[in-house]
Structure 1
Amino acid sequence: MEACVFCEIVAGRAAASVVHGDDDVLAILDLHPATPGHVLVIPRAHVRGLAEAGDAIGGPIWRAARRVAAALRASGLRCEGVRLSLADGEAAGQDVFHLHLHVVPRFAGDGVVVSAEWRSRSRARLDQDAALIRAALPRCPADPLTWRRPRHRDVVMLPACSARPGLTTSSTSSASTGSCSRMTRMS
């Protein structure tokens, strides 16, 4: 098994330009920055991605990222805005499988390109997507270590529910989980 470069940095066996460190996280400059001052906030504990990171890991990462963003703005480096980015999984572009949050200082003309084929979706489709996510939330505890991902056959289409304030849907029936498998605690 190949050694994790971030674990090597945390252990002091690999070089890094450290911006911040505490008991939970380390913030280091990216070796290949999008812009000068591009920082990576990494947990000291090895976790591959979001599915392994509970609040005890996510909270310190977020707090450090907010502090680093403020420091970037006050540092004298060019920083007119800050972009936070986290790739979770290979399909999302994660290339180092140790969770890390990019804190990238942005400015007009910086050459950073965020590209996608942004498409509009109809309100009906957005409401259907929102209903699916809402229906899954109760089965996904705040601590992701206590749930399993559903298999494809576990996923079912549920009708939208307009009983919640602020949501507009085409259906007023309540969603039923039917025979859909619940996510269960891993042993």
Structure 2
Amino acid sequence: MSECIFCKIIAGEIPARKVYEDEDILAFLDVSQVTKGHTLVVSKEHVRNILDYSDELAGKVFSKIPKLARAVKAFDPDCQGLNLLMNNEAIASQSVFHGHVHLLPRYESKADGFGLKWETHQELYSDAELDTVRDAIQDQLKKEEKA
């Protein structure tokens, strides 16, 4: 993908502050730094997002996340935790269409400018509707297993 900024970073055409690299992934500091230490974990294989990951690629990428998350949290004693975030498609705020995971350190003592708005809507869905949703997802999983 010659126009993909992450592919260019992986190829060394664009500099990055790399924190980790192996045959499958590259982890580097996000140039925007939402919080101090904001790190991106990028698969070296170009895939649009999680919806295009093979099981094999997911295993390669996500098996490295705990080690990287521990390192990102531990680098600063003020870090209290972190958010793990992956946006998939534009409606979910994906802006670079190459699969990547954000590791966002969180600092209690600092206004870090990051937040999530999460509203629940339990009252909107009946038990029967939720059962229908569950069954439809299970049917999709069965189709995926057969493919």
Report how many aligned residue pairs link the two structures.
145
Structure 2: distance between partners of 1:111 and 1:9: 26
2:83 is matched with 83
Q: Which of the numbers 115, 118, 121 marks the counterpart of 2:117?
A: 115
The one-letter amino acid paired with 2:102 is: H
Amino acid at match of 1:115: K
Higher Cα Rg, which structure:
1
Is 1:50 paired with 2:53? no
Q: Give the drift of 1:48.
A: 0.4
1:105 match? 105
Residue 57 of structure 1, CA deviation = 1.6
* Structure 1: gaps spanning 5 or more residues: 148-183
Listed as ranges, the gaps of 5+ residues in structure 2 are none
Residue in 2 that maps onto 1:152? none
Structure scoring higher RCO (CA < 8 A, sep ≥ 6) equals 2
CA contact (8 A) 2:72 2:103 kept: no
8 A contact 1:61–1:101 mirrored in 2: no
TM-score, length basis structure 2: 0.84
Identity of aligned residues (%): 30
CA RMSD of aligned residues (A): 2.6
Q: What amino acid sits opposite 1:32 in the alignment?
A: S
Q: Distance in 2 between matches of 1:84 and 1:126?
A: 30
Alignment of 1:14-163 (within 5 A): 14-76=14-76, 78-108=78-108, 109-116=111-118, 118-122=119-123, 125=126, 128-140=129-141
**Separation of aligned partners in 2, 1:101 and 1:130:** 31
Structure number with higher helix proportion: 2
Measure the CA separation in 1 of the matches of 2:66 and 2:140: 29
